[in-house]
Structures are given as C-alpha cells and as structure tokens.
Chain A
Amino acid sequence: MTQPVLSVRNLEVEFVTRRATLRAINGVSFDIARGEVLGVVGESGAGKSVTGLAVIGLIDPPGRISAGEIELSGTRIDHLPPEQIRRIRGKRIGMIFQDPLTSLNPLYRIGDQIVETIRTHTNLTETAARKRAIDLLAEVGIPAPEKRIDGYPHEFSGGMRQRVVIALAICAEPELIIADEPTTALDVSVQAQIIALIKRLGRDHGTAVMLVTHDMGVIAETCDRVAVMYSGRIAEIGPVQEVVRNPLHPYAKGLMGAIPTLAGEDKRLVQIPGSMPRLSAIPPGCPFNPRCAFVFDRCRVDRPEPIRQGTQAVACHLFDPVKETAA
C-alpha cells in the first residue's frame, strides 16, 4: 500500500478557557491518499474546521494540539517549531478559506499577493514569479489574467476572488489542499464551478484534497471518501457511495436523509431532532446519545470506538458484536 499524503492519528485539540478546558477534537484518525478527495462533513461546531487548522498548524492559543500525530507523506509535522511548519504551509499544504471576500488583503494587488507567496517558497525571480502568477490565474479560469493580475481584490466578484484564493493555495504545487467550506459564501451557480475547479486541480496535479463542508450535496458530487464528524469525533468514515447509499451511524443516517433527491420525491426529508451539544456540555458516552433513536444504556456511559464494517468504519455500539458487556 502506498503511503498516504496525510495521516492523522488520535488527534486531540483543546481550548483552555477560564472556566474549563474544552476538547474540540477528540481522538480523530483518518488518511488521505494521493489524488484522493476526502470530504469532512458535519454540523457547525462539529470540529471540521479545527481539524483542518490543526493539520496546517494554525491552532492559536488558547487552543492547542494536546495529543495525537499528524504525518505529511510520512513525516510528523504536528510538533514542528513554528518556522518549520511555516515553510510547509503554502508550499506543501495549501489552504482555502470560506470567505473569499475577506481572505485577500484589500490593499494589495492580487498579483503582488501571488508573487509574494511564490517567492516565499521558491527561488524564482520577480519576473519569473509574475509569469507563473499569470499562468496560475489562467489555470484557475480567470479571463485575461495578464490584465487582471494588477487588479485589487475588490475589483473581482466573489467567485473570481475564490479562484484567486485557489491560485494562491496551489501556487507552490502542494501535496495537500485543505478547503474549508470553499463554496459556502458563494452564489449557488458559482459553487459548482469552484467545486469542479478544485476537483480538476486535484486530479491534474495528483494533489490530496481535504474538503470541509456541511453540504452533503457537495460531498456526494466531489469526494472519494467522506468522514462524518459529530462533537469533535468521527462518527463514520468510508467511501462516499457506501456512506451515502448505506449510512451506518444513526447520525449519518439522519444526515443522508437530509439530502433532497429527485428520485425520492415521495419521501419526506428526515430531520434530526435537537441540536449538537455545546463543547462545554458534551454528554458522557456517545455524544450523539441524547438525539439518537436507537439509544440504549451502554451509549450513555461508554464511548464508542470506530468499528470496521466492510469498507466503512463506524463509531457506534450498535455495530459492536458484544453489545451489552460494558454496560
């Protein structure tokens, strides 16, 4: 088996506040292979974005990675000194944030921002970097790039700005792209274009992509595999067709029920009752137990570990062959 580009093992992220230490990520493990797109899905606050930020080393105090390992192509990167992780950011891992309107510095021309990034990570000269910047803009689908390169961010539309952001993320040919809700802030019509662009770039360059979103439609369309997160844990992970067609975890079942389909017109969309617990009030045992339709005693005391089910893995006691022992 080839080595995964990104390998996360038992990751824990904590935020230390005055009242308590909140665990935003609790024992998350997953791999992303070369050219693979992993979707990370879940409600707001499930820990999707924090996972992405942890990988790229941007968890700021009072947050910190308190346990676990992150490996990029076989090298551990979670405990590197700041200067070394900085050299990895932008060069080996590219990141795309949610809001293209605020991701670019309004006072700098977009060309200057791209050239600056290229020159930080390569030895290219100013002119060579500028030429590459024009090529990049062309690659992400910006018309007349040699003209637009001298524009300021406010002169671009939201979709175009997100393309510029993507160009910035890929300008040093990274092995991994983390896209944190890249389409949430965009018009529906533009969303599909941006998703297609990210997918194409991943395929063309063999880049691994971690796509964070709360949009199951985007996941189903784009990803090879999907991880469903709930309360800082992975509830279920597996190939996207399996998880969408045959979700195992009760929460994943609920999520999939929330995707509108043309075929299923006769069915009502399923709604999951209640809301995700706040970080300060995660119940013991399985965090989903207060909302789960299949809850039984063990769920309220015992935290479920991921259990392999074919190509999927699911953190739910329903799939434990020895259901009742620990309770």
Chain B
Amino acid sequence: MSDAVVPHRNQDSAQGARVGAGWFRRALDSDIFYSFRRSKLTVVAAVITALFFLLAIFASWLAVQNPFDPAQLQLLNSRISPLWTADGQSPFLLGTDEQGRDVFSAILYGLRISLAVGLAGVVFAGALGIGLGLIAGYFGGAVDGVIMRIADVQLTFPAILIALLINGVAKSLLGNKLDETSTLGVLVIAIGLSFWVQYARTVRGSVMVEKNKDYVAAAQLIGLPAPKIMLRHVLPNTMGPILVIATINLALAIITEATLSFLGAGMPDTMPSLGTLIRIGNNYLFAGEWWIVAFPGIALAGLILSINLLGDWLRDALNPKLR
C-alpha cells in the first residue's frame, strides 16, 4: 500500500509538464468556464461584442443606404432628427446628418471600418511583436539589445503620438495619391507599429526562461533542433498572455483609429469610421443636433467597453495568482 504512493510524486511532475504544453486544454478547463458563468457582466459584454461584430458583418443588409455612395445621399433629407422625436422621418431611425446621410447606416458601415482596422492592426502588431520577441529571445546578445532598446524607447511614447507621426509622414510621402483604401492601409500600419512592443516583451521573456530549462538541453542532447523545441514549447506557453494582450489591444487599436479619425488624421469624410462620424457630429453639437455625434459616440463607447470587459475577465481568469 505504502509502496504504491511513492511513484505518485513523479506522476505529479510529469503532469506539470503536460499541462504546460496543453494550453488549449487548460483554457477550456472548468475554472475558466466557471468564472465566465459566474460573471454576468462578462457574459453581457461577450453578447454585446458579438452583436457589434454581427452588425458590422451584415451592415450592407441592415443599412437603409450605403453611406459611402454619394449618389444615395440626398440633401433634402439632411438634419432629420431621430425617428421617435417630433420631426423624425422614416426610414431614418437615428436621424440624418447635414449631408442627408442616415446615421444608423453610417454607424453600421463605420463600425465595419473601425473593427476591420482594429483587427488588422492587432494582427499586424501581434505578428511583428511575436516575431521580434522570438528573434530577440532566441539570439540574445546584440540583436536582443537593439530590439529591446527600440522597444524601451518606443514604450515611453504614447501609441497615439507614434501613429500620428506615421500618418503625417505617410501623407507627406504619398501626397494626393492617398485615397480611402490606402488610408486604411496607413492606419493599420500606424497602429501595428505602435503596439508591437508588449507582444515582443512577453514572448522574449518566456523564450529567455525556457531557453535555459533542462528539457531544452535534454531535447538537444537527443538531437532535436533548438528552434523547433522553442516553437513547440514557448509559443503555446505564451498563448494565454498574448490572447489577453491582443484583446486589450483590440480595444486600444479601435480607440487609436477613432482618435486619429477624430483628429482629422484618419478616415476621410467620404468613407467615415466611427471616429470620423464623431468629428463631423461634434460640429453640430452647439446647433442642438446632438444625434449626429451621440449615436456614433455610444456605439464606440459600448464597443470598447465590452471588449475591455472581456479582456479584463480573460486576464483575471488566465492569471492563476488572482484565483
């Protein structure tokens, strides 16, 4: 009986190694779902986030007009207040702006742009950051020094400043060639270059830790190449933190895009994102036409708040220290 207990210890440590590799299984562990179900707020946030994504995807079916198509806008329909007010007119649920653009349709299309730029920016930043982090951690030495120095310096500057500068330079370089589509590209690049640092630091940290572990040496002894070991073990281990960073950065990227557009350095009036709509609407606030700015504002705030709530929850749920 007592003999049977002895190997139990070894079993425990073997289990530890296995859990490390199976991050996905760990992510689906009951603790996570327990905390998800427990937090009603998180469930609500998840539903709202999903709703926003659906609205963006099906924008062209839900909208009464295509707000990017000048032919569909009629000045006759300008500055109509929302449907439930005295001067409301069908089909303009949330009213129209001074160009006769339906605010509801504009929000749907703007949401699409905001989400697309945000997601693309996060993916770009993530790919850049993970790549540079792996390189810095794996090679160490001077390569690591240069990459992390740049990261340090960049981290002290707010992303919005970097994004504005990149935007300004792009404008200067491209001049009149800068149309709506290339503006989208510039925004994604600006956001990606502003947010890569966190990923790089996280990945580099785990590479540094894993690199010196015995199992890497052991695996090398039996002839497995080191880079392969790193990819197999390090990346899965960092997936949790990276997911958290990506979620929170999605909110940040959307804010950054909106801010750039609000400052007039992002999407143009002809193809407005939520930030552009808010900038346009802001001009009519004093005239009492509050709906032109209010609804895009609410949409943007709701979107960011729900994503942040999800990110917060994810961070707490994946952080064993807080449990």
Contact = CB atoms under 8 A, between A and B. Distances in A.
A291 B2 contact: yes
B5 A292 contact: no
Interface residues on B, range: under 10
A291 B5 CA distance: 8
A295 B9 contact: no
Interface in A286-315: 290-293, 295
Interface of A: 18, 273-275, 290-293, 295
Contacts of A290: 1-2, 5
16 contacts: A18-B34, A273-B2, A273-B3, A273-B5, A273-B6, A274-B2, A274-B5, A274-B6, A275-B5, A275-B8, A290-B2, A290-B5, A291-B2, A291-B5, A292-B2, A293-B2
Contacts of B6: 273-274
B39 to A, nearest CB: 14
B98 to A, nearest CB: 56
Q: Is the interface of B mostly helix, strand, loop or mixed?
A: helix
B105 to A, nearest CB: 48
A186 to B, nearest CB: 28
A253 to B, nearest CB: 14
Contacts of A275: 5, 8-9
Interface string B7-38: 01100000000000000000000000010000
A275 B34 CA distance: 31
A290 B5 CA distance: 8
Contacts of B3: 273
Nearest to B38: A18
Q: Is the interface of A mostly helix, strand, loop or mixed?
A: loop
Contacts of A18: 34
Contacts of B9: 275
A291 B1 CA distance: 7
3 closest cross-chain pairs (CB), A and B? A274-B5, A273-B2, A291-B2
Nearest to A274: B5
A292 B1 CA distance: 9
A18 to B, nearest CB: 8
A295 B5 CA distance: 15
A290 B4 CA distance: 9
A61 to B, nearest CB: 15
Given A18-B34, A274-B6, A290-B1, 8 more contacts: A273-B2, A273-B3, A273-B5, A273-B6, A274-B5, A275-B8, A290-B2, A295-B1
Contacts of B1: 290, 295
Interface string B232-276: 000000000000000000000000000000000000000000000
A198 to B, nearest CB: 34
A293 B8 CA distance: 18
A282 to B, nearest CB: 14
A261 B254 CA distance: 70
A295 to B, nearest CB: 7
A291 B6 CA distance: 10
B114 to A, nearest CB: 39
A274 B10 CA distance: 11
A275 B6 CA distance: 8
Contacts of A295: 1
Nearest to A291: B2
Nearest to A18: B34
A273 B9 CA distance: 11
B35 to A, nearest CB: 10
A273 B3 CA distance: 7
B7 to A, nearest CB: 10
B315 to A, nearest CB: 19
A64 to B, nearest CB: 20
A273 B6 CA distance: 7
Contacts of B8: 274-275
A58 to B, nearest CB: 21
B54 to A, nearest CB: 34
A289 to B, nearest CB: 8
Contacts of B34: 18
- Most central of A273, A274, A291, A293 by chain B CB within 10 Å: A274
Nearest to A289: B1
A48 B229 CA distance: 43
Nearest to B35: A18
A67 to B, nearest CB: 28
Interface in B152-199: none
A292 B34 CA distance: 39
B2 to A, nearest CB: 5
Nearest to B323: A18
A157 to B, nearest CB: 30
A43 B9 CA distance: 16
Interface in B21-79: 34
Nearest to A295: B1
A126 to B, nearest CB: 40
Contacts of B2: 273-274, 290-293
B136 to A, nearest CB: 32
A293 to B, nearest CB: 7
B193 to A, nearest CB: 40
A27 B3 CA distance: 29
Nearest to A300: B1
A69 B8 CA distance: 37
A181 to B, nearest CB: 23
B40 to A, nearest CB: 17
B230 to A, nearest CB: 34
A87 to B, nearest CB: 34
A273 B8 CA distance: 11
Nearest to A272: B2
A295 B4 CA distance: 15
Contacts of B5: 273-275, 290-291
Contacts of A292: 2
B30 to A, nearest CB: 10
Contacts of A273: 2-3, 5-6
